[in-house]
Amino acid sequence: MQYVELTAAASKTRESAYAPYPKFAVGAAVLSKEGRVFVGCNVENISLGLTICAERSAIAAAVAAGHRDFEAIAIVTGSKKPALPCGACQQVMAEFNPSMKVVVATVASDAEQFSLKELLPWPAQVLLEKRV
């Protein structure tokens, strides 16, 4: 499996997640095309709609550091099977690279890899282009 170090960074960051409600801790690590890694974890809120996903947290950290070109993202959960990113996170990823590699893994090291285009074949940008 490619992106072993990226997945390890996501797994380590998962330990910092704030997940007192559904208790679903998630860590993410995004790899810039320049080779820099930025991490994020989920921050739950009692009002679940206000929860910040790990994927968007990692991307926001990268953008705040001046990076906007991403090659891949790794997402690690404690679930039995790797969990795919939610639709909102997929759309945010597509904003920066619709072909980004997405690695989903568990703390038990089960992992799968996808192209974001497989997960989100019609991001908002494509739909908007077709309507204009």
Segment 39-65 shows an average pLDDT of: 97
Segment 12-23 shows an average pLDDT of: 96
**Residue 51: C-alpha distances to residues 69, 70, 125 (Å):** 25, 23, 25
Least confident of 2-6, 62-66, 123-127: 123-127
Percent of the chain residues past pLDDT 90, beyond the cut = 88
Residue with tokens 């679930």: 79
- Domain residue spans of the chain: 4-131
Q: Please report the pLDDT score of residue 129 as a whole number.
A: 77
Looking at the domain that runs over 4-131, which CATH code has it been given? 3.40.140.10
Known catalytic residues? Answer: 55
Q: Please report the pLDDT score of residue 1 as a whole number.
A: 46
Q: Please report the pLDDT score of residue 131 as a whole number.
A: 65
